[in-house]
Amino acid sequence: MSRRTIGLLASFAAALPLALMPTGALGGARAARAHTVTLHEFRFHPATLNVNRGDTVKWVWRDQVEHNVTFRSFHSHTQVAGTYTVRFNHRGTFNYHCTIHVEEGMRGKVIVH
Ligand SMILES: [Cu+2]
């Protein structure tokens, strides 16, 4: 085996365990982040939000009419002002909408990685 081949094998072997580690394991525990979605002019901003497990999402009402944030198994109050906060502990895509304005396209999704 040439010196070069041995060197390549050694670096490959060293890289392998790192590749098998879950993301975030290298830097210790990753801090949970807080995200904000604004309800404004019959839309969620941003409509698609990517977060990590353990992160929180806060919806903030900034409109002149009533809205709600409704998921399959949980929902906010219908209100004109205020906030609604949810912590996402499981991976997946979570679709939601405002029940009053769903026909107008007031929908959003949270993608938890
Ligand atoms: Cu609405």
95 alpha carbon to ligand 1 midpoint, in Å? 15
Structural domain that includes position 71: 32-112
pLDDT of 36-94, one tens digit each?
Answer: 999 999 999 999 999 999 999 999 999 999 999 999 999 999 999 999 999 999 999 99
Is residue 15 included in any domain, yes or no? no
Instruction: Tally the domains of the chain.
Output: 1
Is the pLDDT at 16 greater than 90? The verdict is no
Measure 87 CA to ligand 1 centroid, in angstroms. Answer: 22
User: Which residue in 51, 57, 59 sits closest to 30, CA to CA?
Assistant: 51
**CATH code assigned at 56:** 2.60.40.420
pLDDT score, position 30: 79
